[in-house]
Structure 1
Amino acid sequence: MRILLVYRPHPEGARDPFTSLMPTGLGYVNGVLRENGFESRLANLSGVSWREVEEFLRRERPDVLGISVFTHNRFESLRLAALAKKIDPACVIVLGGPHATHSFETILAKHREVDAVVLGEGEETFLTLVRALEYRGNLAGIDGLAVRQGAGVSHSQRSPITDLDALPPPVRYMDDAWGCDIPRQLEFIITSRGCPAACRFCSSPRFWGAGLRFRSPRSMVDEIRTIRDRYGLIYFSLRDDTFTVRKDRVIEFCKLLLKEKVYILWNCQSRVNAVDEEMLLWMRRAGCECVQYGVESGSERILARLGKRITPQQVRTAAGATRRAGINLSIYLITGVPGETDEDVDATLRLVNEIRPHDGQVAPLAYYPGTAIFDEAVRLGKVAADLFERDHGEAQYVRSDPFVARSGETLLRALTRVGRKARFTQADFASQRELLGYCHGTNLAQGEWLEDKGREGQAAELYREIVEREPENPWGWLAQGGLFGLQGDVKSAKEAFSRVLSIVPGYVPAHLALGDLCQELGDRNGAHRWYEAARGLNPYDPLVEERLKSVSRRSGKKKGGP
């Protein structure tokens, strides 16, 4: 039985560096299927034409096609399902993901090309489904699966997986993924399921069910080390809804990274009422360089309407602790909330000016199936229950009046203006050192600041401290290599980048840097070898192709070409 697990975003999402990636959940489903002996493969269909998609499906001829569906790509997913059914009517089409989970009745009622919908967590449900197909069993009655039965739909819930450590990490079965930038895909890691909050605009609580489940720090560190060693990644993004829910787990994770010398930098998402200074200091020591908080608004009235269950004072407290630890502060804001006024926006602007985030994002409030605000809007007759079938837009915003665009632009300008002034200063770095002691992240950040000020000598001292204290830390050698290159010391730069590759052989940027240095020396053959090595590690990295083309152009000029 050939199983294909695919993702195709909205056309706009195909150009977005985040939305163009496959959902992490597909990697877990693929891993479980492979661990149980099934022939399963991942495919990222972002950025390819429909003609190429059709050719790919005809080549693969899957017996089962699993499609990951979010609200933004719901029509792309349904078109994909119809195409697969046209190519092979016997192919079993299974949808999963947040939008499919919360809209399964409509999907099964209106789209005959879809055979089943996985509800919520998909690993055990999908495994049970393919086992039933293998023995020609009935799909009706499978826990966690919705299927047509007679004139209606049969569905039931499945109990959540209790031991997340038992799930094989996606990295184990990524090598044959089609259309996938594997290193960029594996940068994003999930270490828990569920969220302690119940924000009215978010469908996560209904998708994952009640309660939170966590992977162990041991499992997290092992996955990071495997990805680093196999694919050369040394920067990671932990995309849990709220990474810091359990303080003991976070600190144990940080201590393991430090004890086992897994030298990485990373970021995470959290809530302002789920952090404290002790935890943030451990996170910084272990390489955390940014925390993104869902602040949403500085108005208590709007926060209450969104169901955030936080206060502006908690925002101030968390922001202050984050900055003191030397971690970059990033925030998410929402505008276009029903009843929101200029006074509410002014409250948010005051809060932004107080907490001084390094960056942030602003989004209009949107409807999604499975959220309290959508259910309420349907109940009050503000929107139709089949909104997501009628409206083909990538997102369905709650408000479309001029206030939303104006407030969004005002908040974004404020974030940009404040962010330019929010950078840490020498006094901040001195304070961080008192709190943290030696920390390679602090050295790197302060060194970058000094380089921008033209004080390369002082920056070099900080980088030197990293490589002397932690000779197996690639970040110190990277920083040295970059600085030597800027200073024109090509020999020392090559030595530093070569040292990076002795520690992390698969790190593509170091291969590119060595190629660039060869070009500076006029060694086009050497540059080509380094760039070709980078392409062998990641053929989907656009920077690699740019460098290879640059070598070809220069070679052409030498031969009298244009």
Structure 2
Amino acid sequence: MNLLLTYKCHPEGASDPFTSLLPAGLLTLDAVARKAGHQVTLANLSAHSWRKVRELMKKLRPQVVGISQFTHNREESLALARLAKELDPRCFVVLGGPHATHSWQEILPAHPEVDAVVIGEGESTLVELLEILGEGGDLAQVAGIALLKDGKAVCGPPRAPIGDLDSLPLPGLETSLSYGVDYRRQLEFVITSRGCPASCLFCSSPLFWGRGVRFRSPASVVGELRMLKERYGLVYFSFRDDTFTADKRRVLEICRLMREQQLHLAWNCQSRVNAVDEEMLAAMKLAGCECIQFGVESGSPAMLKALGKRILPADVERAAAAVRKVGINLSVYLITGIPGEGEEDLRQTLRLIEKIKPQDGQVSPLVYYPGTRLFDDAVHERVVPSDLFERKEGEGFLVRKDPFVERSRETMLKTLLRTGRKGAYRAGDFDRQRALLGYCFVTEMLAGEALEQDDNWPGALALYKGMQRKEPKNPWGYLLAGGMQARMGEFFAARESYAKVLTLVPNHLPALVALGEIALAEGDAAAARRHFKQALKLEPSDESAREGLAAAGG
């Protein structure tokens, strides 16, 4: 069948580097649908006007449209559904994603433009749904979908979770016809497990994926990383698992394989403070981990309990101390606007931030999401109506709207900024990290970054050249040196550094773009055009290469 898999974010998220991307699940759905023999188009419509969206849908004429729906883009996803039906009433429109999964009972009766909703994990369900649609069979028998029957929203039999995640085809191994999809940006985000061991009251992940955690094997994970490096030239990744470190043995094996295969990748991940220890963090850093983000939420024991976190500030302090000892950058995620949160709770959070000194952090007001205990309790207590999300009031719904929330958020952000500067690693910290771990290219990367921030460019460059001598097959020493040399006006040396990167990682897009920019700076328009054209062959949607080519008269 002719299938369009698509997503359009809320306008306020169009400039966000993560929200504006396709949800990672759409790439896996694309892969399984193509494997089953269907014609698939992937479309990220986040940057498209509605006029262009209409033109694209008229051109594609899909038989089935699959739309990824989150709470923030619930209106955009429904507008896409209405447009698909307007252009072709015979088109079958199906929603999937966390919001649709948890709100199907409200969506289906109110929105006739939606024919069905895929509940939770969608790969097996989508393939069966397409097969039944092609045969003209009874959709009510498809496990894992909800639809209208006799005017009433009903859900079919439950779909068992996929037991072997390694059996799913890798996103990016093959590419579909696509619109608005920057595969290199998309594929930097890697998912190696499904589910979370926690049950926080504000999170819908446990209900979406099912209780417990399912893992891909270390060999599968490292195989994907190697493929993405070789095919797309990617050398930096973000593991987007809810809790990447949930299984220590698996993490250690992933790290061992990455080092054994000399992938020389840098990466970051998300975790819980009670799911790491010093041994694991040391192995992660030696394998390229440069940053870890913890869901800390609050420094108040009472607020942590109110959120169902099952941690205490002392757990945060222990995990942060281990991270700082090993020398990984520490990022924290904080929440404010919790019911009952007051001045003393804020003071406790600020004291915790001051104590652990994260280099980075985010603060968000607490919001309602369908599928969370927080929302269900609020409905039960009649704090909010059950049809809350049918109301058109922007991206999300704050739990609290009083002045304390914004003041608390601003105070936390200012404290994070101040402690981030105070908590930056210095020369003595790097010496201790080297003594603890031995040589580690991440230590040298961070040490060079610190020198750059202190305007010690010659010192940073000397350190990057030392990385080249220590690990001549690691692209990071050459990549960082090239950037430094270009800023210092040493263009010949910078060209040599970037050329070396391309011998090690032939499809590394930023190195090609950098070579084009250096050629422009030197007035060599012909060389600039050559490099930018090569870059656009690798990634036709790359804006830097497009702008560079235009500047070079191409």
Distance 1:403 1:163 in 2: 47
Rounded Cα–Cα distance in structure 2 between residues aligned with 1:166 and 1:540: 31
Q: Is the 8 A contact 1:330 1:360 kept in 2?
A: yes
Return the alpha-carbon distance in structure 2 between the equivalents of residues 69 and 186 of structure 1.
20
Distance 1:447 1:393 in 2: 42
> Which residue of structure 2 lines up, in the alignment, with residue 248 of structure 1?
249
Give the Å deviation of 1:355: 0.1
> Partners in 1 of 2:550 and 2:214 — Cα distance?
48
Q: Does 2:44 align with 1:77?
A: no
Distance 1:112 1:57 in 2: 19
In 1, distance between residues paired with 2:46 and 2:115?
A: 24
**Which residue in the other structure is 2:221 paired with?**
220
User: Could you list the per-position Cα deviations for residues 51-104 of structure 1 after superposition, in whole angstroms to 9, with x for gaps in the alignment?
Assistant: 110110111111110000000101111111011001111110000000000000
Structure 2 match to 1:296: 297
Cα offset for 1:175?
A: 4.7
CA contact (8 A) 1:443 1:466 kept: yes
Answer yes or no: is the 8 Å Cα contact 1:359–1:419 preserved in 2. Answer: yes
In structure 2, give the amino acid aligned to 1:492: A
Deviation at 1:540, TM superposition (A): 2.3
- Partners in 2 of 1:209 and 1:228 — Cα distance? 32
Deviations 1:26-46 (A, max 9, x none): 111111111111112211111
Alignment partner, residue 336 of structure 2: 335
Contact 2:207 2:371 (C-alpha < 8 Å) held by counterparts:
yes
Deviation at 1:135, TM superposition (A): 1.0
- Aligned-partner residue type, residue 41 of structure 2: R
State the partner residue of 1:560.
none
> Aligned-pair distance for 1:134?
1.3
State the match for 1:102 in structure 2.
Answer: 102
- Which deviates further from its counterpart, 532-541 or 68-77? 532-541
Alpha-carbon spacing, 1:14–1:456, altered in 2? closer, same or farther (3 Å): closer
- State the TM-score, normalizing by the size of structure 1: 0.96
Q: What corresponds to 2:88 in structure 1? A: 88
Instruction: Give 1:447's aligned residue.
Output: 448
SS in 2 for 1:502: helix
Which residue of the partner structure matches residue 474 of structure 2?
A: 473
**Contact 2:75–2:392 (CA under 8 A) maintained in structure 1:** no
Q: Quote the Cα distance in structure 1 between the aligned partners of 2:49 and 2:522.
A: 41
**CA distance in structure 1 between the aligned counterparts of 2:484 and 2:72, rounded to whole angstroms:** 42
| Residue equivalent to 2:161 | 160
Distance in 1 (alpha carbons) for counterparts of 2:154 and 2:378 = 27
Partner SS state of residue 333, structure 2: strand
Residues 240-319 of structure 1: pairs in structure 2 closer than 5 A: 240-319=241-320
- Cα shift at 1:283: 0.5
Deviation at 1:457, TM superposition (A): 4.2
The 2-side partners of 1:387 and 1:153 are apart by 18
Contact 2:42/2:176 (CA < 8 Å) preserved in 1?
no
Amino acid at match of 1:200: L
Partner Cα separation in structure 1 for residue 31 and residue 201 of structure 2: 33
Question: Which residue in the other structure is 1:558 paired with?
Answer: none
Instruction: Write the distance in 2 (CA, Å) between the matches of 1:12 and 1:459.
Output: 38
Q: Deviations over 1:318-353 (max 9, x none)?
A: 111111111100000000001100100000000000
Equivalent residues of 1:165, 1:219 under 8 A apart = yes
Residue pair 1:236, 1:264 contacting (<8 A) in 2 also: yes
Q: Tell me the C-alpha RMSD between the 2 structures.
A: 1.3
Deviation of 1:507 after TM superposition, in Å, equals 1.3
Match of 1:53 in 2: 53
Structure 2 counterpart of 1:273, one-letter code: N
Letter of the aligned partner of 1:26 in structure 2?
L
1:444-494 deviation per Cα after TM superposition (whole angstroms, max 9, x unaligned): 111222233344444334322322232221101112222322333322211
Structure 2: which amino acid aligns with 1:34?
A: R
**Take 1:221 and 1:64, find their aligned partners in 2: how far apart are those partners?**
34
Letter matched to residue 210 of structure 2: G
Give unpaired runs (5+ residues) of structure 2: none
In 2, Cα distance between the equivalents of 1:483 and 1:173? Answer: 35
* Aligned 8 A contact 1:336 1:398 in 2: yes
Matched, 1:38 2:27: no
- Identify the residue that residue 425 of structure 1 maps to in structure 2: 426
Q: 1:530 to 1:338 in 2, by over 3 A?
A: same
Secondary structure (helix, strand or coil) at the match of 2:355 reads helix
Give yes or no for contact 1:165–1:216 (8 Å, CA) kept in 2.
yes
* Cα distance in 2 between the residues matched to 1:539 and 1:36: 28
| 1:354 aligned residue | 355
Partners of 1:235 and 1:264 within 8 A in 2: yes
- Cα distance in 1 for partners of 2:231, 2:43 equals 20
Q: For each residue in 1:414-466, what CA deviation from the matched residue of structure 2 results, as whole angstroms up to 9, or x when unmatched?
A: 11111122110111001110111110111111122223334444433432232
* Aligned AA (1:240): D
| SS, match of residue 41 in structure 1 | strand
Deviates more, 1:190-199 or 1:469-478: 469-478
Alignment of 1:460 onto 2:461: yes
User: 2:270 is aligned with what amino acid?
Assistant: Q
Stretches of 4+ moved more than 6 A in 1? none
Q: Deviations over 1:366-406 (max 9, x none)?
A: 00000011001111111010000024321100000111111
Name the counterpart of 1:543.
544
What percentage of aligned pairs have identical amino acids? Answer: 53
Asked if residue 363 in structure 1 is aligned to residue 364 in structure 2, the reply is yes
Decide whether the 8 Å contact of 1:34 with 1:173 is kept in 2.
Answer: no
Offset, 1:214: 0.1
Contact residue 290 and residue 329 of structure 1 kept, 8 A: yes
Match of 2:18 in 1: 18
Moved more, 150-159 or 138-147: 150-159
8 Å Cα contact 1:75/1:392 also seen in 2: no
SS where residue 293 of structure 2 aligns?
A: strand
1:193 — aligned with what? 194
Q: Determine the structure 1 residue equivalent to 2:125.
A: 125
Tell me how far apart the structure 2 counterparts of residues 305 and 504 of structure 1 sit (CA, whole Å): 48
